[in-house]
Amino acid sequence: MAKKLMKGSEAIGEAAIQAGCRLFFGYPITPQNEIPEYMSHRLPQVGGTFVQAESEVAASNMLYGAAGSGARVFTSSSSPGISLMMEAISYMAGAELPAVIVNIMRAGPGLGGILPSQGDYFQATKGGGHGDYRLLVLAPWSVQEAADLVQDAFDLADFYRNPVMVLGDGLIGQMMEPVEFRTERVPCKPLPPKPWASTGWRGDRAKAIINSLFLDPEVLEQHNRNLKAKYDAMVRDEVRFATYGTERPYDVLVVAYGTVARVVSTAVDNLREEGVRVGLLRPITLFPFPYEAVRAAARRAKAVLVIELSCGQMAEDVQLAVAGSRPVHFHGRQGGMLVSPEETAEKVKEILKQTGKEARRG
């Protein structure tokens, strides 16, 4: 297929359709309304169904129900709406159902604002809903990558029988970039049959019962252990990250994800031109987090800088990875304010000055 100029939100919708998703349940919220809008006109064209629910709570429970049938199902929302979906997401994780949830983050807490943010990192990667569960969390940095990751998300969800979240910010949703959909796409995981799907019982097999209630503690503990084994497999097999400018020696390693990493990549180019040695590591999976890669990359630097559109959430995972072997600095913008390449460069230079002073003192 030829390259098309598309808004991130539209590309996300089209990617879901290309991945074979024919069911969307959602409720409008800025800045991701273009996703349901796109699905509402595209799904009927391909024999699918679009439902605008009465609320995010309803939409997410429709998702839960439809996922139980084994169909590829999808919803999207933005931060406050995702909060409302957390109960159903926990149930889907407990009932081991595949589903794809896109969160185009806006600034919070509460209703906050409608501008870009990365304030939902904790919610996405550390739970959000109740109970001992994990979501696979994918963070695109471009419209093309958003389209690719949404398609992968459906494969990963089916493979692991687990909800997968694609975590973007308002920029990814709103900006337009060229996108190409591969016509002959190979799934990123083998797609297992779905004998667990509740598709109507005709007496020819065991009943497929979808449930997240286990009142016997021994049974529930075994269930928790099975889930844990699945999350461990994700940690072992699904870590994804990318680097920029780290093939050359660097003094400062910047860690950033999503569109912020795009901004940082420009800062890396500009700083390199000035002779400042800096590199970027960009986690693509936020769960599983690339702890090993960050640890190894940090060892080759004098200091680490984490940049986020939050007060410092991924920074905690970077600190865990670096484990005190290098100083970890943080720079964040909040409220919908963006970080610029110039601001990034300034911060890097500041850190270098500080590191130089400490080295002389030491």
Partner 1 sequence: MQNDVIIAGFGGQGVLLIGKLLAYAGMRDGKEVSWLPSYGPEMRGGTCNCTVVISDKPVGSPVVQHPRAALVLNLPSLEKFEPMVKPGGLLLVNTSLIHREPARSDVTVVKVPANEIANELANPRGANMVALGAYLGATEAVSLPVVEEIVRETFAGKEKLVTANIEALRRGHALGAEAKKGGQP
C-beta of 116 vs 129, nearer to partner 1 = 116
Cβ distance to partner 1 smaller for residue 132 or 342:
342
Give the torsion through C-alpha atoms of 333, 335, 341, 346, to 10 deg: -30
Q: Give me the least distance between CB of 150 and partner 1, in Å please.
A: 19
Binding site for partner 1 (CB under 8 A): 3, 5, 30-31, 114-115, 170-171, 174-178, 259, 262-263, 265-267, 269, 338-343
Please state the closest distance from residue 332 (CB atom) to partner 1, in A.
Answer: 15
CA distances for 345 relative to 4, 51, 149, 272, 330, angstroms: 33, 46, 29, 10, 13
Give the shortest CB-342-to-partner 1 separation in angstroms: 5
Which of 132, 350 has the CB closer to partner 1? 350
| Alpha carbon of residue 165 to chain centroid | 5
Helix boundaries (H) for the chain:
8-18, 34-45, 56-67, 79-94, 121-125, 143-160, 170-174, 217-237, 259-273, 291-299, 314-322, 341-361
Q: In this complex, which beta carbon is closest to partner 1, that of residue 77 or of residue 162?
A: 77
CB of 123 to partner 1, least distance (A): 23
Q: How far is the CB of 340 from partner 1 (least distance, A)?
A: 4
Q: Are strands 163-169 and 136-138 parallel, antiparallel or unpaired?
A: parallel
Q: Which is nearer to partner 1, 142 or 162 (CB)?
A: 142
Q: Which is nearer to partner 1, 344 or 355 (CB)?
A: 344
Question: Could you tell me the smallest distance in angstroms from the CB atom of residue 301 to partner 1?
Answer: 21
Question: What strand order describes the sheet that includes 303-308?
Answer: 241-244, 278-283, 252-255, 303-308, 328-332
Q: CA-to-CA distance for 302 and 355, rounded, in angstroms? A: 7
Alpha carbons 279 and 295: distance in angstroms, whole number:
14
